[in-house]
Chains A and B, each alone.
Chain A
Amino acid sequence: MGAVTKMTMAQAINAALRDAITEDDSVVVFGEDVAQLGGVFRVTDGLHAEFGENRVFDTPLAESGIVGMAVGMAMNGMRPVVEMQFDAFAYPAFEQIVSHVAKLGNRTRGKVRLPIVIRVPYAGGIGGVEHHCDSSEAYYAHTPGLTVVAPATNADAYGLLRAAIAGSDPVIFLEPKKHYFSKEEVDVSVSVPPIGRAVVRRPGKDATLIAYGPSVPVALAAAEQAATEGRDLGVIDLRSIVPFDDETVCAEVRRTGRAVVVAEAPGFASVASEIAARVGERCFHHLEAPVRRVTGFDVPYPPPKLEHHFLPGVDRILDTVDTLQWEEDVA
C-alpha cells in the first residue's frame, strides 16, 4: 500500500482506529455520537458503517457509564477505545478513571490489567465556549497508574494511538482539537518509537523549548522567529507526558544550558511545573539560568473573545527566552 498520505489529524486517528479494529477482534470503539454521526469531530467517521454495531457503538449519555463499562469489558478480555466528547465532559468519568482505571492493576497485584484508551479532544484555540477548551492533563498526569499521551503531529497521532491500543495499561490520549483539521503527510508504515519517548523536533544551540500537544507548533514558530533574530532555539516534543522521557529532555538542556517549558494549561501545580522541577534537579550544574515556564494564566479558560490573551504565543515565549541571563545582559 502506498504508505505516505496527506491527511488531517482527525483522519490519522480514524485510520489508527480502523487499522486496530481490523487487526484485533478485541478492539471496540464506543462513546457519545461516535456511531452514525462519526463523532462531533468526525474522528470515527465511517467506522460504524464499516464494522457494525458490535465494534463501534453509541452509548447512553453518561461518561461515568462509558468509562465504567470499559473497565468491565477490559476485565473480560476486550480493548475498549472510548471517546469523551470534549475535555471538560470527561469530568463525570473522573471517579471511574481515578479510582478504578488507574488503580485496578495495582490493587490486584497485576492480576487484572486494563488495556483501555480514553480519547479526549482537548485544549483550546478554537473559539469554543465554556467547558470546550480545558487543558486537563495535570489531573491525569497526577494520577499514578495512568499513561498520558499528547501527540503534536498527525503521524504521531496515528502511531501513538496504535501503540496505546496495543499496550496493556490504560492510556489517556489527549488530542489537540485545534489540529484536527490541519493536513500533514503521514506515513503509516513507519513505526513510531514506543510511548515514553520524546523527540527533538528542532536542534538548537542556545536554549531548549520543551512542549507537547498543541504547544509544539507554537514553540516551533517561536524558534523560527528567534532564528531570524540570531538566536538558535531547539524544540523538544514530549509526545508522552507519562512516562516522561528525562533522558532526551535532559540531554538537550545540558547541551544548551537554558530551557523554557511551553504549555497551554494554567501554570500553577501543572505538568509544566513538574517538567521545570525535574530539569532543575537533573541539570542544575549545566544551567545558565533558571528554567522558565510559559503557560496559560491561573484562570478558568476565558471566553472566545479573550482566549488569545490566555494562550502562550510566540511573543510571550520569546520575551521569556530573553530573560534567560544571556552574556550580553550580564556584562
Chain B
Amino acid sequence: MAINLGNIRDECKAIWRCGLNAGQLKAAITAARLLDETGRLVRGASAPDAEALVDGYRKLVFARRLNEQCGALVRQGRLAVYPSSRGQEACQVACTSVLADGDWLFPTYRDTAAIAARGVDPVEVLTLLRGDWHCGYDPNEHKVAPQATPLATQLLHAVGVGHAARLKGENTVVMALCGDGATSEGDFHEACNFAAVFRAPVVFFVQNNKYAISVPLARQSVAPSLAAKAIGYGMPGVRVDGNDLPALEKVLGEAVARARAGDGPTLVEADTYRIESHTNADDATRYRADDEVTEWLPRDPLLRVRTYLTAIGVLDDDREQDIAAAAEEMAAAVRAGVGAETVVDPEEVFAHVYSTLTPQLAEQRAALRAELELEEA
C-alpha cells in the first residue's frame, strides 16, 4: 500500500492546530509531582505555601479519621455499608480546596470525605449509608450534587450545570468526580465530548485507584493513560500523582483557572490506590495480592506531607496534637450524630415524588396511614 505523505502532513497540521505539543502529550501520560515518596520536594519544583499546606494536612488528617470512623460504624451496624477512600485522601481534599464558594462538586459514593472537606456535615452525608434517606444534605445550599451511584451518569449533569452557568453569565466552575472503572461507561465519553464542544467550565477528575471492585485497570483500558483520552476530545489531559497533595492542588487549580477563564474543560487523572476493599461487603483478597497493597502503603498521602512539613520546621508536635485533637472531636460528633436514634417518617416516601401529591399517591398514603394507626392501636 502506497503511503500518502500529503495526508499525513494534513493530519499533522490538524494536530498542530488543536494546539497539541509534545509537552502536553507528556503531561497526559507521566504523573506530575511536587513531593516525592520520601516527602522531599522534587528537583526544580517551587515550594508550596507552607501555611496553606499545614491547612491541607489538617484536612488530610480529618479525611483519614472520617474514613476510619465510618469503617467502625459499619462494624457496629450503624451504617449499612461504607466505600472507603483510604489512600485517596489527597484527592478528596485537593478537589475541594481548589474550588471557590459558588463552584459545584459532583461526587460519587466513594467521595464522602471530599463532601465533608467541602464543608457539609458528615452526619448529613451519611444519611444515605445509614439508610434514612437517599441524600441527607441540600445540594443547592452546599453546591454539592447528591452522591451518584449509577456510574458516570453524574458527569453529564456536571456539564449541564457548567453550561447553564455560562449561559446565565455566572463564573461557576464544576468539579466532576469519577473512578477509573467509570471511564468505560458511555456517559463518560458523552460528558467529555459535550464539555469540550460547549467549552463547558468543568474539571473531570478521575481518581484512578486501579480497581473497579475486582476488575483491574488493565481490563478497563489499554490507552497510554486515562488522561490521554482527553486528546481525542480536543481538551487537555493531565496526569498527576494522586497521593501528592500539593501537586494535585497545583494541577487541579490550573484546570479550575482554565475553566473559569472560559477556556473549557480539562481531564485530570490522579494516579492513586484503593487501600481497602471496594466496600466492607467486599473481600479484596479474592482478587489482589497483599503485596500489591503493601507496596502502596509507603506512598501514603498523609505521611508524605507530614514528613515534608516537619522537615521544613512548620509542623511540630504541638501543632500535630492540635490537629489530631480536632479530628478526634469531629469523629466524636460523627459517632454521636450517626448513633442517635432518628425517626424516619414512613409517609415521607410519598412526600417528594412529585412537587404536588397526585390523587393516587394521596390514596396510597391514606392506606399506609390507616395501617400504621392500626399497628399503634
Contact = CB atoms under 8 A, between A and B. Distances in A.
Partners in one complex: yes
B350 A131 contact: no
Nearest to B131: A304
B215 interface: yes
B80 A61 contact: no
A306 B150 contact: no
Given A268-B360, A306-B349, A130 B128 contact: yes
Contact of A32 (B129, B215, B282): B215
Contacts, number: 105
Nearest to B368: A309
Consensus secondary structure, chain B interface: loop
B80 A304 contact: yes
Interface residues of A, number: 38
Interface stretch (A7-15, A70-78, A245-253, A292-300): A292-300
Interface in B179-199: 181-182, 184-187
B231 interface: no
B80 A298 contact: no
Interface magnitude class on chain B: 35 or more
B221 A38 contact: no
Nearest to B151: A61
B361 interface: yes
A220 B234 CA distance: 60
B149 A130 contact: yes
Interface string B108-136: 00000000000000000000111111100
A302 B345 CA distance: 11
A4 B213 CA distance: 35
A65 B81 contact: no
B297 to A, nearest CB: 23
A131 B358 CA distance: 23
Nearest to B347: A309
A227 B287 CA distance: 50
A59 B149 CA distance: 19
A34 to B, nearest CB: 9
Contacts of B371: 315-316
Nearest to A45: B286
Contacts of A305: 130-132, 344
Given A35-B214, A316-B371, 4 more contacts: A33-B214, A38-B286, A61-B220, A132-B149
